[in-house]
Amino acid sequence: MSRPFPYTFISCPCADTPVPDPARKRRSRESPQKQSPQKPAPRPSTSEGEKKGTTANEQRDEDDEDEQTFDPRSPRSDFSLYPPEQLLYCEECHQIKCSRCITEEIVSWYCPSCLFETPSSMVRGDGNRCGRNCFNCPVCTAPLAVSTIENATGNGTQQGPWVLSCAYCLWTTLDIGIKFDKPTNIRSQLQKMTDATPPAAFDRSRQASRTLDSLKHPLSSSASVEEHGNARERERDIEHPAPKEDPTAPPMGADAQFAALKNFYRAQIAETSNSPNDHLSSDFGFSSPGALNRLMSLYTSSSRLGGLYGGNKKAKSKPPVMREALTASEGLQIAPKNGEADIIARLASPDCGWEGVASLDQRKAQAPNARFVGDLLPLPVLLRTKRAKRCKSCKHILVKPETKPQSTRFRIRLIALSYIPLPTLCPLAFSSSSALPSMAPTPDLDSLSPLRPIHVLLTLKNHMFDPVRITLATPPVTPGRVATKVTVLSPQFEIGANSDVWDEALQGASATSSGDSKSAGLGQRGVPEAGKVWDKGRNWTTVVLEVVPGTLPGSSAEGGDGNPETTDEDVVAVAASRKDEDVLEIPVFVHMDWDADAQLDQQNLGKASKADDKVTRELAYWMVLGVGRIQASL
Amino acid sequence: MPPPKTSKSEYIETDTGNKISRRSQIHGTQHIILGGKTVIQAEAVIRGDLFRGASTVDPNNPSTPPPSTPSVAINVGRYSYISKSAILRPPSRLHRGTHSFYPLKIGDHVFVGEGAVIEAAQLGNHVHVGKGAVVGSMAIIKDYAYVLDGAVVPPGMVVPSWCVVGGKPARIVGEVGEGYGVEGADGGLARERYRVVGRP
C-alpha cells in the first residue's frame, strides 16, 4: 500500500454494481447481528489454507449477495477502495460517488508552468500545448528556462542570443545548435527555425541526406507534371552525391510536413468531390458525420443502393481518383536510400555511443524520425485542465472549480467528507507492555506481533449538522489466509452534530485541549471495555477495536513448515494472494442513519418520516482499516 | 526511535505557539518570520542567514553596505511543520552577474518531510513535501500540491494547485482528490500534528 499505516479507505458502493436500495437497507439492518451468527460459519482456520480458496469461492456462490463480507484482498476491491478525501457525494442519489461514478467536463485549459489560461478555441487550433515560453527539456522533462549566453556583466540591458536551458540535466538548446534572438515568443521562433531554415548542420544531416533518386515508388509511374521538377531535382542530387550538407533540399519539419499533407489532401478531396456540399472538404474534416455519408457513397455508388446513400446519379462514370502526394511541397518525404544503414553506422560510431541515442521515452514525445539525442527538440508544455464533475446517473454537478487556473476555490464541491464521518485510526498504547512510559508506547505498526492483541482507536468525525447514529460491523475474522480476529468493542454509538463553525472557533482551543488531556490520560490509564465508547467529543466519537493479528502461513509462529500452496490452488492465485499478505486490513461495515431535514423534492420519505420536517436517512458502506503489517515470527 | 532523554522538554514554545526543537539549527533568526504554531523538529536546518544583500558576493564594489532594513529570508505561515533534518534554504540565482538570494515563503498548514531540502521561492498553503524530497531553487509549489517522497522538483518548476508530483526530475503524476485539505483528512492534519508535538 502506498500510504503509511494506519490508513483508512472507503469502498464506493458502485463496485458491487447497481445494488438496489432495498437490498442495501436489508443488508444494513442485518449487519449488527451479523457478528455472532457468522462466527461458526465460513472461514476455516489458516492451517487449511490450501483449501480455503476453493471453499471460500463455493461459499461465495452459495451465499446470497447480502451475506458477503467485503474482502479487501479480492482483486476487485482494488477498484472500489478510495481514500476518503477522493470521494464525492451526490445529494440527489444520496450515495457516495467515486471517480468511476462520475463524468468530467473541462472547465478551462491552462499551462501548468505559467498558469495562464488558454481559450479552448486556441487549444483546438494550436493543439494543447502552451504557446508562450514554457518548454520542457526533451531529455529529462524538467522545465526549461530562458537564459542568455552572453557573459552578463550586469550593466544595462542584456542583449544577445538566448537559449533554453534545463537546470536539472544541464541540457541547452545549444546542444542542438539553436539560439534565439529575443527572449520572448520562443515557440514561434523555434517553429520557424525547425521548419523553415536549414537545420543546424549536425542533427538533421540525416534528413538532408535523403536522396531523391530513390524515387522508385510505384506512384512515380503515374506521375504527371510535377514529375519533371522531381526529375530535375533528382539529377542534381545525383550530381552532388555528398548530400550531407545539401542546402538545396531543406527538409521539412514534422509540423510543416503535416500541414502540407493536410493541405494537399484537402485540395484533393475538393478536386475529386462530386457534390458541392461535400463535407469532407469542410473544416470539420474527416470526423464530421457527413464524411461517413461520402465514404458510404464511394462504396455504394455503383451498386443499386447508391441512391439510398445519396451517391451521385451518374453511377456509371468512374469517380475521380485521389492521388497521393508527389512533391516535397505537397508533403512527400522520401525515405533516404540507405537511411537505415546510415542510422546503424551512426549508432555504431564512437561519437554517438549509448548517450547519443534517444531513449524510447524521449522519442515518444518527439517527431517520428528523431532517433538521436541531437534530434530532440524542446517540448512545449502540455496544458492541463480544470474539470467539473457530474454524477453519472443523475447528471447532478458534484464539483465545479472556478475557471481561473490560479484559484483553488470551488463553486460547487460535494465531497463525501461533508456527509460521511471521517474515519481516523490510531493505535492505542499497550496496556501491558508500558516499558517506555516517557513516550507513547505505541506498537510498531510495521511489525505487529502475531497473536498478541492490540487495541486500535477508531475515531469517526461527523461533518454534518445532524447527529448521526453509527453501527459498525466487522467479520469476526479477516478474510484471507491470515486470520486476524477483530472485535469492535462498542459497535453502536452516536456522533454529535457538527455545530456552528463559530462555536468551534470560539471554544476550539479550550475544548480541544481539554479533550486532549482527557484522551491522553485515558490513553495511559484507561482500560478498553466492551460496550463503552472510548471517548467522545462534540462531533466525534472514538471506539476501540480489539485486534488479534493472525499468524502468517508458514511462519514460525504457526509451528508448521511453510508449504501451504502445494495443492490444487492455481499458481497465479497463490502468487496474488501471497503479495502483501502480511498487511493487516480490516473490513468494517459502516451503517449510519440520521434525521435530516426533509427536502421538498424528496419522494421516498413516506415510510420513515419522524417529525414534521425530518426524514431518516441512512447510508451504508464498507471501509477498510489498514492497521499494519504482521511480523513473520513472534 | 525514542529521543534521548533531556531534563528540559525538547521543544521551546514561543508566545505565538511555535514549537521549536532545541536541537534544530536555525541561523539568522532575525531574518526568519514564523507565523505561529509552527513546529520545527530536531536537526532541521533553517538558513535565515542567506538573505539578499549581506551574502551577495560582489567583488567589484564590496563597499556598498547591505540594506539597512533587515530583509526577510524565510517566512513560514501558521501550522506548518518542518520535520527532522529538513533543510530550508532561501533560493538564489544569478541575476545580472550577481548571485543573490531571494526570500523563501512557506504558507500555512505546510508539511515538510524528514530530510527534505527546500530551496523553493514559494510553498503555498497545505503543501505536502514528502520525505527526502528536494525542491529546487526558485521553484514555486502552489496551494494543495503534493510532492511525493523522494521527488526532485527541478529548479524553477511550477507545480500547480492540487497536483501530485513525483520522480526525478519531478513530473505531474496525478491530482489529489477534491477533499484534500479538509480538516482532519489527508492534507488537513496540520492542527493535529501540531497538537501532538512535544506532548509527554
Please give, rounded to a whole number of angstroms, the shortest distance from the CA of A75 to a CA of chain B: 23
By Cβ distance, the residue of B176, B185, B200 closest to A84 is B185
Q: Does A160 touch chain B (CB under 8 A)?
A: no
Euclidean distance between CA atoms A531 and A149, whole angstroms: 74
Contacts of B156 (CB under 8 A, 6+ apart): A143, A145, A167, B136, B137, B138, B139
Q: Which three cell numbers stand for residue A398?
A: 458534484
Residue A571 has pLDDT above 70, yes or no: no
| C-alpha dist (Å) from residue A456 to A14, A627, B152, B160 | 29, 8, 36, 37
C-alpha A296/C-alpha A283 separation (Å) is 20
* B8 is a domain residue: no
Q: Provide the pLDDT for residue A57.
A: 44
Q: Examine the pLDDT at A491 and tell me if it is beyond 90.
A: no
Among the partner residues B158, B180, B184, nearest to A461 by beta-carbon distance: B184
A142 shares contact with chain B (CB less than 8 Å): yes
Report residue A503's pLDDT band, with 50, 70 and 90 as the boundaries.
low
* Contact between residue A628 and residue A5 where contact means Cβ atoms under 8 Å apart: yes
Specify whether the CB–CB gap between A562 and A486 falls below 8 A. Answer: no
Q: Is residue B85 part of a domain?
A: yes
What average pLDDT does the structure give for chain A?
70
The residue among B61 and A193 whose pLDDT is bigger is A193
**Count of CA atoms in the C-beta half-sphere (13 A) of A145:** 18
What are the chain B neighbours of A422 within 8 Å (beta carbons)? 182, 184-185
Which CATH number covers residue B73?
2.160.10.10
Lowest mean pLDDT among A174-178, B73-77, B183-187: B183-187
DSSP A439-477: S-----TTSBPTT--EEEEEEEE--SSS-EEEEEE--SB
B172 touches chain A (CB under 8 A): yes
Alpha helices in A97-225 (DSSP H): 120-126, 186-195, 205-208
Whether A142 and B154 lie within 8 Å, measured CB to CB = yes
Answer yes or no: is pLDDT of B53 > 70.
no
Over residues A179-189, the pLDDT tens digits come to 888 888 888 88
Q: Does A158 touch chain B (CB under 8 A)?
A: yes
Is the pLDDT at B116 greater than 90? The verdict is yes
Contact A337, A282 (CB under 8 A): no
User: A532: pLDDT confidence band, cut at 50, 70 and 90?
Assistant: confident
Q: What's the pLDDT score for residue A227? A: 41
Considering only the beta carbons, identify the residue of B161, B176, B179 that sits closest to A416.
Answer: B179
SS3 state of residue A490: coil
Taking only the tens place, the pLDDT of each residue in B137-154 is 999 999 999 999 999 999
Q: Does A422 touch chain B (CB under 8 A)?
A: yes
Specify the pLDDT at position A200. 39
Please judge whether A167 and B182 are an interchain contact, meaning their C-beta atoms are less than 8 angstroms apart: no
Q: State mean pLDDT over A306-333.
A: 65
Per-residue pLDDT, B129: 94
- CA distances for A556 relative to A25, A449, A551, angstroms: 44, 12, 9
Q: Which of A54-63, A78-87, A547-556, B6-15 has the lowest mean pLDDT?
A: A54-63
What average pLDDT does the segment A325-353 reach? 82
With beta carbons less than 8 A apart as the criterion, state whether A215 and A336 touch. no
Q: Cβ of A145 and B143 within 8 Å?
A: no
Q: Closest Cα of chain A to B131: distance in Å?
A: 12
Q: Is the pLDDT of residue B64 over 60?
A: no
Mark yes or no for CB contact A405/B158 under 8 Å: no
A67 vs B21, higher pLDDT = B21
Q: CA angle, corner B13, sides to B7 and B18, nearest 5?
A: 140
Share the mean pLDDT of chain B: 85
Q: Select the more confidently predicted residue: A297 or A585.
A: A585
What pLDDT shows up at residue B107? 93
Judge whether residue B57 has pLDDT over 60.
no
Mean pLDDT of B163-168: 92
> Is B6 within a domain?
no
Pairing mode, if any, of strands B171-175 and B163-166? antiparallel
With an 8 Å Cβ cutoff, are A112 and B172 in contact?
A: yes
- Residue B94's domain spans which residues? 19-55+69-196
User: Is the predicted pLDDT of residue B123 greater than 60, yes or no?
Assistant: yes
Reading across the β-sheet that carries A117-118, which strands appear in turn? Answer: A117-118, A102-110, A384-391, A397-401, A410-413
Note whether residue B1 is domain-resident: no
B120 pLDDT tier (thresholds 50, 70, 90): very high
CB pair distance less than 8 Å for B161 and A408: yes
In angstroms, the separation between the Cα of residue B162 and the nearest Cα of chain A is: 8
Shortest distance, CA A187 to any CA of chain B (angstroms): 18
Q: Please give, rounded to a whole number of angstroms, the shortest distance from the CA of A84 to a CA of chain B.
A: 8
pLDDT band at B38 (very low <50, low <70, confident <90, very high): very high
pLDDT band at residue A283 under the 50/70/90 scheme: low
Q: pLDDT digit string (tens) for A511-522?
A: 444 444 444 444
pLDDT of residue A449: 79
Residue B177 exposure: Cα atoms within 13 Å on the Cβ side: 23
Question: Where is pLDDT greater, at A413 or A57?
Answer: A413
Q: What share of chain B is helix, strand, coil (3-state, %, to 5)?
A: 5, 30, 65
Three-class secondary structure assignment of A310-336: CCCCCCCCCCCCCCCCCCHHHCCCCCC
Residue A62 has pLDDT above 50, yes or no: no
| Mean local confidence (pLDDT), A75-85 | 83
pLDDT of A631 above 70: yes
* Minimum distance, in Å, between the CA of residue A167 and any CA atom of chain B: 6
- With pLDDT > 90 as the criterion, what percentage of chain A qualifies? 6
Which residue is closest to A438 within chain B, CA to CA?
Answer: B200
For the cut 50, the answer to whether the pLDDT of residue A240 exceeds it is: no
Tell me the CB-side half-sphere exposure of residue A114, using CA atoms within 13 A: 16
Cβ-based contacts of B182 with chain A (< 8 Å):
85, 415, 417, 422, 463
Q: CA angle at residue A150 from B55 to A192, to 5 degrees? A: 130
B176 inside 8 A of chain A by CB: yes
Cell of A352: 554517438
**Is pLDDT of B108 > 60?**
yes
Q: What is the mean pLDDT of residues B181-187?
A: 78
Total residue count of chain A as it appears in this document: 634
On whether any CB of chain A is under 8 Å from the CB of B131, the answer is no
What pLDDT was estimated at residue A608?
Answer: 46
Percent of chain B at pLDDT exceeding 70: 86
Confidence band of B45 (pLDDT split at 50, 70, 90) = very high
Q: Quote the pLDDT of residue A111.
A: 92
Domain positions in chain A: 7-78+417-629, 205-221+234-377
Q: Measured between alpha carbons, how far is residue A201 from residues A207, A464, A488 in Å?
A: 11, 68, 74
Looking at the 3D structure of chain B, how many domains does it have? 1
The distance of Cα B153 from the centroid of its chain, to the nearest Å, equals: 14
* Chain A neighbors of B94, CB-CB under 8 A: 152
Q: A84 and B179: CB-CB below 8 Å? A: yes
pTM of the model as a whole: 0.73
Residue A566 pLDDT exceeds 80: no
Task: Please compute the mean of the pLDDT values over residues A572-594 and round it to a whole number.
Answer: 73
Model confidence band, residue B127 (pLDDT cutoffs 50, 70, 90): very high
A547/B106: higher pLDDT: B106
Helices (H), A352-461: 353-356, 360-364
* Higher local confidence (pLDDT), B133 or A507: B133
Q: How confident is the model at residue A232 (pLDDT cuts 50, 70, 90)?
A: very low
Chain A CB contacts of B137 under 8 Å are 167
Mutant choice from A168, A362, A364 vs B, greatest count of B C-beta within 10 A: A168
> In chain B, which residues have their Cβ closer than 8 Å to the Cβ of A512?
195
In a domain, B111, yes or no: yes
CA dist., res. A112 & res. B179, Å (int):
21
Contact A373, A139 (CB under 8 A): yes
Owner of C-alpha cell 539553436: A178
- Please say if the pLDDT value at position B95 is more than 80: no
Q: Do A87 and B177 touch (CB under 8 A)?
A: yes
Look at residue B166 and tell me whether its pLDDT is greater than 50. Answer: yes
Name which of A152, A167, A438 is nearest B5 (Cβ-Cβ): A438
Whether the per-residue pLDDT at A199 is higher than 50: the answer is no
Query: In B, which residues are within 8 Å of A85 by CB distance?
Result: 176-182, 185-187
Per-residue pLDDT at A400 exceeds 50:
yes
Predicted pLDDT at A61: 43
Residue in B157, B181, B186 nearest the CB of A142: B157
A413 interaction partners in chain B (CB closer than 8 Å): 178
Closest by Cβ to A142, choosing from B169, B176, B177:
B169
Confidence of residue B87 (pLDDT cuts 50, 70, 90): very high
A614 at interface of B, judged by CB pairs closer than 8 A: no
Quote the crossing angle between the two packed helices A186-195 and A254-272, to the nearest 10°.
70
- The top-scoring range by mean pLDDT among A592-601, A612-621, A624-633, B97-106 is B97-106
Encode pLDDT of A12-43 as tens digits: 887 665 544 444 444 444 444 433 333 333 43
Do residue B156 and residue A152 have CB atoms under 8 angstroms apart?
no
Q: From the CA atom positions of chain B, what is the Rg in Å?
A: 17
| Helix residue ranges, H only, A501-587 | 501-525, 571-578
The three-state secondary structure class of A110 is strand
